[in-house]
Amino acid sequence: MEAFIVAALRSAGGKRGGRLSGWHPADLSAQIINALLDRTGADPALVEDVIWGCVSQVGQQASNVARNAVLSSRLPESVPGTSVDRQCGSSQQALHFAAQAVMSGSMDVVIAGGVESMSRVPMFSPNSLADKAGLGGYVGEQMQQRYPGVVFSQFSGAEQMARKYGLSRDELDAYALQSHQRAAQAREHWAGQIVPVQARSAEAGPLGELHTQDEGVRANATLQGIASVKLLQEGGVVSAANASQICDGASAVMVVNERGLKALGAEPLARVHHMSVLGHDPVIMLEAPIPATQRALHKAGMRLQDIDLYEVNEAFASVALAWQRALHADPARLNAEGGAIALGHPLGASGTRLATTLIHALHRTGGRYGLQTMCEGGGMANVTVFERC
C-alpha cells in the first residue's frame, strides 16, 4: 500500500508573547485537527490515531499532549493519541510513523502533526526544571566516556557548521534577509494552508480578531539591520537575526492509504515517495541533513536535480547554506517561500509545517517532487520526499 496526504494545514506562527501566546497547546492543536476534519469532510470516527510531535513535553505540554489534543477536539474519545520527540524533527517523524501505519495496512486514516508553545513552555524547560529539582541531566556516565568534555549545544554546532563550510557572517546575514523577503512575497499564496484562529495574548486574552499572518516575517528587513544584531558568541558568525525565531504554532497532515481514500471520498494532494532518518555526529549536531539527503536520494534512486523544491529547516542560516554548498543545490529551489528565520521554528510543529508549505508550493508551481529535511538535536535528520498528485 501507499501513503497519501489528503490535507495539510498549519497555524500562522506567533512570536514569543504574541498573538498565539494565550492558547493552551492542546487547544491550539485541536484547532488544526478540527480544521483537517472540515477540509476533508472526514467522519471523525474514521481517524484511527493521532501522532503528535512536541519537544518540551512538560507543564502544559506534558502527559501526552497528543491525547489531550484529541480530547480537546471534535474527535471521539475512541481515537487514541501518542506524542513523539525526535527533537526538531518530531512532527516530521510523526508523519513518517503515520505513513508507515497506513502503508502496512494496520490503519487507514491517521492524523500526524505537532505543536510547540514556546511562550508558555520555554525551550529547554524539561532540562532546566529537572536541574532545579535535583533530578540530574540527560548525559550519563557512558555517554560522557564516549564524548569526554563535550558540551552538546546547537549554538556551538551552528558555529562549527559555518567554519567547516567556509560561511561568513555576511553570507549568513544575506541569507537571513532573503528568507524574510521570500516569505513576505509568498504570503499571498498561504491562505489555503493557514487555519485562522482567534488571536489571544497570554496577558490580554482574546484580541477580538483572527490570527492569519506569521508574526515573524519582516517585510521591511534590511541587511544593515540584520548585521547590527549582536553575535551569540564573541568571534563567531551566528546571531539571533540569522537563526530561527522562537515561535508558537501547530500544524498537521491527514495521512491515508487507498482504503482511506475510498472511505473519505477524498482526492490526494501528495504521495509519500520516500522517508528515512539518519543519525550522525552529535557534537557538530546540525550536519546530519547532508548525509541523510545523500542516502535518501540513493535509496530512492533519485538525483537532487530530480527534486523541484527543497525545504531545509532554517534552524540557523549556516545549516541551510552548508546543505546547499555540500550538495551543489540550486538556491532558487531551496526554501523558496522563506523559512524558519522569517516564519519561526515552533519546534514540535516544524516538521509538518515544512510539509504543509512544501506540498502546497508543489501544487502552486506545478512541481512534481519536493524534499524536506531538518537538523535535529543529538545529530539526526529525517528526510521525506513527496510526489504531487
Task: Provide CB contacts within 8 A for 127, sequence distance 6+.
Answer: 137, 138
Alpha-carbon distance 228 to 233, whole Å? 14
The residues near 274 (Cβ < 8 Å, ≥ 6 apart) are 296, 299, 300, 302, 383, 384, 385
CA–CA separation, 64 vs 49, rounded Å?
A: 13
Burial call 227-250: b when 16+ CB within 10 Å, e when fewer: beeeebeeeebbbebbbbbbbbbb
Would you call 360 a catalytic residue per the annotation? no
Catalytic residue among 24, 180, 345, 360, which?
Answer: 345
Determine whether 273 is an active site residue. Answer: no
Return the amino acid letter for 79. V
Q: With contact defined as beta carbons under 8 Å apart, do 348 and 86 qualify?
A: no
Q: Taking the chain, what is the end-to-end CA distance rounded to the nearest angstrom?
A: 16
- Is 375 labeled as catalytic in the residue annotation? yes
What backbone torsions phi and psi does residue 383 show, to the nearest 5 degrees? Answer: -130, 130
Q: Look up residue 218 and give its three cell numbers.
A: 519582516
Q: Which of 24, 54, 88, 280 is catalytic?
A: 88
Alpha helices in the chain (DSSP H): 25-40, 65-72, 90-104, 125-132, 141-146, 154-164, 169-186, 223-227, 258-264, 289-300, 317-327, 340-343, 350-365
SS3 category, 61: helix
Q: Residue written as cell 549536531? A: 285
Q: Which position has the grid cell 489555503?
A: 192
The amino acid at 346: P
Q: Provide the β-strand partners of residue 312.
A: 373
Residues that are catalytic: 88, 345, 375
